[in-house]
Every structure is written in C-alpha cells, then in structure tokens.
Amino acid sequence: MTVRRVPVVLMRGGARRAAFFHAHDLPNAPRARDAVLVRAMGGSDAAGERIDGLGPGQDGVARMVVVSRSQRPGCDIDFMCGTLAAGAATIDWGGPCGALAAAVGPFAIAERLFAGAEGPTRVRLQHVPDGTRIDAYVPVSAGEVSEQGTFVEDGVPFASAEVRLEWIEPSDAPFPTGRPRDVLELPDGLAIESTLVAVDEPMAFVRADALGLSGRESAADIDRNRRLLERVEALRLQAAVRMGLADSAQAALRVRAPMPALCWIARPAAYRGTAGAEVAAESVDLLARCVIGGRLQVAPGGAGSLALAVAAAVPGTVVAEVARTLPGVPTRIGHPSGSRAAGAEVSSRIGADGRPRWRVERCLLSHGARRLLTGEVHVPEGG
C-alpha cells in the first residue's frame, strides 16, 4: 500500500474554511476523484469524526473546492464546491458555495492558474455544476495576492483584504410570483404586504411595522417571543406555497431546510449590535432581522443579502419602500451583529401582458479570503 501526496491549500473564504485542490492533481473520473477526496478528509466514517484525515469543521461538515483553468469562452477559472456531511459517505457537489467562492480567485492567482495584474485583478469564474458566472476582483500587489487589509465581516475576528464578487446575470426571474409585492395573511386575518425573492435562496420580506416591530430587535428580544415566532412561521409557510416551494403549508412544514427565511425590514435607525458596539443610523441604508428555523440570525447570509439588494433596487417592493439605497451603490444592511453591504443592478422590460419583467443583471458582495496552509495531504491508496 502506498501513500499518494496531493497538493492542497487550506483557505478561508468569508467565515468558511475549505481544502482547495487543483483538478489536475486528482483523478479525472468523478468516482475515483471523490474516492481520493473522501479518504483525504478521513474516509466515509459513520461516526463522523474523520480522525484519520483532515476532518470536518466544527459544524461536522468537511468542505472541498476543486479548481482548474476554464475552457468556457469568456471564463478564466472553473470551480466546484463539495461538502461531506457528518456520517455521509459521498460528496455533495450540488449545494451553493457561499463565501468560499471568494477564495477561488486568490487561489487561482497564488497557484499560477491565472496571472495577477497590479491592483484589483478580475478573475472570471464559472461555478461548474450550474454554470453560474462570477467575476472576482482580487487585490494584487507585485504579482502576488494581497491578503492583508481593513475589510471586516461577521464571524471573522481579523481584518483582511476585500475580494469583491460580482454575479453576472444571476437571475431572470427574481420574483417567483411574477410580482414585486404579494399580500400574505396572519392567522388573525390581518393582511401583510410582502416581497418574495429568489436569487440564490428563497427569501420573504415584510415591513417590521406591519408586525409591530422596529427592526432594531436582538436575538434576546425575539427568541422567547413565542407569539411573534408563531406569526412569523405562519407567514413563512404561506410564502413557501406562494413561491412554489411546497403545495401546501402542511407540505412546507415537512421540507427539511426551512425555506424561505423570513425577514422584517425597516428604515435606518441606531441600535446596539450583538458585540455591544453602537450601529449608527447613518452607517446603514436599511435594517433587517431574519428568522430561520425559529431563531433570529446574527446576520443575513450571502444569499439573503443579495436578495435584499435586489429587492431594494426594484421600485414597488416593501424593501425599496424603506431602504435608503442609491442607484449603483451597494445597500448597507444593518443586522443584529453589525452591517454588511450588498449590491444589485436590475433591468426590466414590459411583457406581453403589459406588466414589467424584472431581470437581475449583476449582484455584488464582498468577502475576505486567505491562504491558511499550503502543503500536501497524504492519502493512503486502496483504503
């Protein structure tokens, strides 16, 4: 039995960590490739500890990214992101990459798959499983990726350089109902105006004041407010049906991932963030509080932020009503633990029925990224 040494770079993208590989260092055939990767992570360990390999993160999920030069015209780099869940024997390549996409450009430049220019270097990425196009703008100095900087984001205790991601034509149907505004109904019959958006993941937005809220709430305010959480859940289930995610509220309850997330939004106002720092009203364009699985999230995820930015850019949505978004400028979203910026460019044309058809031309989101370790993973062959 021999040990195969496979070059690997452990990278952080946003608040995620993954093992990055060159496709050319792995077998071509997907089954053989995945066998090497699973063994590198510690094998198809039923107990989930994966102690004889690189192992999972604290959430029990091992993450891998495979990168190569792209053959697609207008693209520089292909990538795909795999997850090996606790107890799973196979890698799931179908899920979203999330913040890890921000580390692909820096990997490509550092590993000489792409030549870095001086300043922000554009790397044109293709997410292979679904063909999603993302342009990454990677800060480069003297041909090397600049990792140090002043960009801060939730869940990452150190500042780093900013990698700007620009999704190209991410959606030509951001509103699954075809409308920028839908009316939902609370159990007591009260009508609630909402905007239902699906850019990456489905999201439902309502105004905070429609629920008697301010948008300045903290997790402590919400997590024990049973009545509110019940109302939010009722809205969420209705939204799921409207968005075509389930045939009925009953069916929506059975969907494993609690989609859509429901967020209430409000005009900018000052509040105290989770870590104790004051968030000034002038520093945000919008307040958002999102509930997933019955809990207030510390911050909307990447998909939620993009959906907010899209809704803020479309006149007539409940988000545009309260957001102080300026055309062409990312929306600064004030969330429980701080703020983050996300941008969207939208366009519309008039459909055959005389109603506008919206289309998302670009979405913008930034993350930090950093090489944590470069080396070779030792993979025993034949088990």
Residues 10 and 20 sit within 8 Å (Cβ to Cβ): yes
User: Residues in contact with a second copy, total (CB under 8 A)?
Assistant: 43
Q: Nearer to a second copy by C-beta: 8 or 125?
A: 8
How buried is 164 (Cβ within 10 angstroms: 0-12 exposed, 13-18 middle, 19+ buried)? buried
Minimum CB separation of residue 15 from a second copy in Å reads 5
CB of 53 to a second copy, least distance (A): 6
Is residue 90 close enough to count as binding a second copy by CB under 8 A? no
The least distance separating a second copy from the CB of residue 114, rounded to whole angstroms, comes to 20
Asked if 27 interacts with a second copy (CB under 8 A), we say: no
Reduced to 3 DSSP states, what percent helix, strand and coil does the chain have, rounded to the nearest 5?
Answer: 20, 40, 40
Can residue 335 be called a binding residue for a second copy (CB under 8 A)?
no
- The kind and range of the H/E element at 39 are helix 30-41
Asked if 89 is part of the footprint of a second copy (rule: CB under 8 A), the reply reads no
85 binding a second copy? (CB under 8 A): no
User: x/- contact string, 109-148, with a second copy (CB under 8 A)?
Assistant: --------------------------------------xx
47 part of the interface to a second copy, by CB under 8 A? yes
Report 262-301 residues binding a second copy (CB under 8 A): none
Nearer to a second copy, 89 or 183 (CB): 89
Token digits of residue 377? 């993973």
User: Looking at this protein, which amino acid is placed at residue 343?
Assistant: G
With beta carbons less than 8 A apart as the criterion, state whether 5 and 96 touch. no
Using the rule CB under 8 A, is 257 a contact of a second copy? no
Between CA 256 and CA 6 the distance in angstroms is 36
Among 157, 189, 293, 354, binds a second copy (CB under 8 A): 157
Smallest CA-to-CA distance from 306 within 239, 365, 243 is with: 365
51: left (phi over 0), alpha (psi -120 to 50) or beta: alpha
CA distance 264 to 231: 12
Amino acid in position 330: P
Exactly one of 36, 38, 45, 299 binds a second copy (CB under 8 A); that residue is: 45
- Contact predicate 155/137, CB 8 Å: no
Contact between 10 and a second copy by CB under 8 A: the answer reads yes
54 part of the interface to a second copy, by CB under 8 A = yes
* Cβ distance to a second copy smaller for residue 16 or 207: 16
Phi, psi of 291, deg, nearest 5? -115, 125
Closest residue by Cα to residue 218 from 338, 342, 340, 341: 338
Interacting residue ranges for a second copy, rule: CB under 8 A:
1, 3, 5, 8, 10, 12, 15-17, 42-43, 45-49, 51-58, 60, 147-148, 155-158, 160, 370-378, 380, 383
